[in-house]
Homo-oligomer: A and B are copies of this chain.
Amino acid sequence: MKQITKNIIKNSLKRIFLYRACLVRLKLMGVEKVFSYTLANETGVTSDQVRKDFSEFCIKGNKRGGYNINDLLEKMEKLFHRNKDNNIVLIGMGNMGLALSKYSKFVQRHMNIVATFDIDPFKQKMRSGIPVYSMSRLKEIIDRFSVKVAIVAVPEISAQEVTDELIRHGISGIVNFAPVLLKVSPDVIINNVNLCDELESVIYYVHKQIKVNGLKNLELLYRDMKY
């Protein structure tokens, strides 16, 4: 049964990513152990929250001894399946698709875009070291590389159709850059990234702040914020 499926990414998971980025930095600096308040300071949360988040993801430290950075990173790698490579396909080689296909951070994090697809034959040539195929070869590639996750960067008009095809061929998670709510069965993981909304949100809060600052009352602004 197809239905609108909401983003399900929890804030606690996003914070775990922050902690990890911080740990990687600290490790590069030669640091070997951290305390919850170290991570808290670096990421702008409280030490309580760091520990609660760790607890949620079953990450344990040492009483009084804090956390060993290597242990912590290893635990997280396992948690995020970074010990094995994750093969991704990318659909739509327009401006955004092209940029994403060239984004080097994915590879650094063991997320490999193994192939990209576009209906436009003129785009079906390599422009970023990754082959661009026609949609007819989608199933073949998904099967060959055991792909489970896809990035959708097609125009909104074709996003649903492309999504249906992806799911039919075994994809079960999608990062969707098209500004539409995809209708899928509830067992498919969808994460929508809407660039306009992200920008417009900032504009909204900036205008609000200007208005509130005019009233010399920052409390009012903060009251209406999330954190």
Contact = CB atoms under 8 A, between A and B. Distances in A.
Contacts of A202: 9, 149, 173-175, 189, 191
Contacts of A8: 205, 225-227
The contact size tier of chain A is: 35 or more
A145 interface: no
A111 interface: yes
Contacts of A151: 199
Contacts of A44: 3-6, 181
Given A21-B179, A111-B196, A204 B99 contact: no
Interface stretch (A27-35, A102-110, A116-124, A160-168): A102-110
Given A7-B226, A189-B209, A109 B198 contact: no
A174 to B, nearest CB: 7
A164 B151 CA distance: 33
A64 interface: no
Contact of A201 (B14, B148, B226): B14
A218 B187 contact: yes
Contact of A17 (B191, B194, B226): B194
Interface stretch (A65-73, A78-86, A129-137): A78-86
Interface in A25-80: 42-45, 79-80
B191 A201 contact: yes
B175 A81 contact: no
Interface of A: 3-11, 13-14, 17-18, 21, 42-45, 79-81, 86, 88, 95-96, 98-100, 102-103, 105-106, 109, 111, 148-149, 151, 172-175, 179-181, 187, 189, 191, 193-207, 209-210, 213, 218, 224-227
7 contacts: A8-B226, A10-B225, A14-B201, A21-B179, A105-B179, A111-B199, A148-B210
The 6 A-B residue pairs with the shortest CB-CB distance, nearest first, are A4-B44, A99-B99, A173-B206, A173-B202, A95-B99, A8-B225
Given A149-B199, A151-B199, 13 more contacts: A10-B225, A10-B226, A43-B181, A81-B203, A103-B195, A105-B196, A173-B203, A174-B202, A187-B213, A189-B209, A191-B199, A193-B193, A193-B198
